[in-house]
Amino acid sequence: MNTNTTARRNQRLMSQRIDPACLMRIKSLELRAKTVVEGTWKGLHRSPYHGFSVEFTEYREYTPGDDPRHIDWKLAARSNEHYIKRFEEETNLCCHMLLDLSTSMQFQSLGYTKAEYAKTLVATFAYFLAQQRDATGLIIFDEQVETIIPARFTRGQLRRILIELERPPQGSHTNLIYPLKHAVETIKKRGLVVLISDLLSPLDELNTHLGYLRAQGHEVALFQILDPAEIHLNFHETAIFEDLETGERIALNPKAARDNYQQQLQEHQAAIQSFCRKQGVHYHQLTTDMPLEQGLSEFLTDRAA
């Protein structure tokens, strides 16, 4: 693909991206997801995921120990070689999404919360995977695991996921370890595990449990969802700031606190990025003013590379 073609393609994709503020006005999660997928991923039919867009049965060479019932004997008669049919269970992706709906995810400065943005991200993944006949599951958590939908591809799976996403959150605090521990203990088939959270909590043991998933052969992606105000602390007047999870309140002059706040946030982010690199985890930071198509297409591009 030459430079001009690439530039035209990038311009076309940019024009197709939807302002999140407009997207969030759509009440239906399914329609939001459909809008993102159909508007942006039409040109990405062949994705970098093994399992995406698999619409035919593949073959692999027979090896001792394989069930001979799966040998394609007609092909063997023509070629004098033995091949095994690879069924959908072998070829299609199995994706497990872990969604943080703790109280900190209710923060907003743009008219919609981080939780709404994250739910739309999950719905978009689920919709796309369903279109590609891939298995999708969902774990919703706060200080504990609240909802578990095991990964599978069935006619009603997308609907089950969307119904759970529509339910109001129940918990308050964040505990990143419980959902990861559950994933480590219960997910037997290698697949893709996607953790979606603001990660504004202690990182104790997070590195260890991500490492357990990687050691089991899973691909792991981490999407950190932040509101732009959390990054820039762009408030101008002294005010009372309240921790959404603990209820603690402090009087704060944002201008005086901004430099120290941003330094601490940068150190927190650097720690996350460091152990993600070491563990081979795909890390992506999305702010809630970022078109969903941008973050997802960057993630797919990174995987392809």
Hey, what are 189's tokens? 């088939």
Q: Which helix (H) or strand (E) holds 178?
A: helix 177-186
Per-residue pLDDT reduced to its tens digit, 188-204: 889 999 999 999 988 88
Residue 124: count of CB within 10 angstroms of its CB: 23
The pair phi, psi for residue 201, each rounded to 5°, is -155, 165
Instruction: Identify the top-confidence range among 45-54, 202-211, 241-250.
Output: 202-211
Specify the DSSP class assigned to residue 64.
T
Instruction: Tell me which CATH homologous superfamily contains domain 92-303.
Output: von Willebrand factor, type A domain (3.40.50.410)
Q: How far apart are CA 62 and CA 71, in angstroms?
A: 7
Query: Which SS3 state, helix, strand or coil, does residue 22 take?
Result: helix
Q: Where are the beta strands (DSSP E) in 116-187?
A: 135-141, 145-152
Residue 76: count of CB within 10 angstroms of its CB: 13
Q: What is the pLDDT of residue 53?
A: 39
Q: Which amino acid is at 126?
A: A
CA 109 to the chain's CA centroid: 22
Domain boundaries, the chain: 56-88, 92-303
The pair phi, psi for residue 65, each rounded to 5°, is 105, -20
Decide: 99 and 105 in contact? Cβ < 8 Å.
no
Going by C-alpha positions, the residue among 95, 84, 172 that lies closest to residue 130 is: 95
Per-residue pLDDT reduced to its tens digit, 267-285: 999 999 999 999 999 999 9
Q: What is the pLDDT of residue 42?
A: 53
Question: Is it the case that residue 47 has pLDDT exceeding 70?
Answer: no
β partners of residue 135: 94
50: confidence class by pLDDT, cuts 50, 70, 90: very low
Specify the DSSP class assigned to residue 71.
B
Q: What is the mean pLDDT of residues 124-132?
A: 88
Q: Which helix (H) or strand (E) holds 221?
A: strand 219-226
Q: What is the mean pLDDT of the chain?
A: 83
Per-residue pLDDT reduced to its tens digit, 20-30: 999 999 999 99
Q: Which of 52-56, 58-62, 226-230, 243-247 has the lowest mean pLDDT?
A: 52-56
Residue 218: count of CB within 10 angstroms of its CB: 20
Going by C-alpha positions, the residue among 43, 45, 40 that lies closest to residue 15 is: 40
Hey, what are 45's tokens? 């039919």
DSSP string, 85-121: EEPHHHHS-EEEEEEE-SGGGG--SSSS-HHHHHHHH
Question: Is it the case that residue 72 has pLDDT exceeding 80?
Answer: no
Vertex 283, ends 169 and 43: CA angle to 5°? 90
Going by C-alpha positions, the residue among 198, 189, 134 that lies closest to residue 161 is: 134
* 129 vs 45: which has the higher pLDDT: 129
Model pTM score: 0.79
Query: Which SS3 state, helix, strand or coil, does residue 247 take?
Result: coil
CA 195 to the chain's CA centroid: 6
Q: How far apart are CA 230 and CA 238, in angstroms?
A: 16
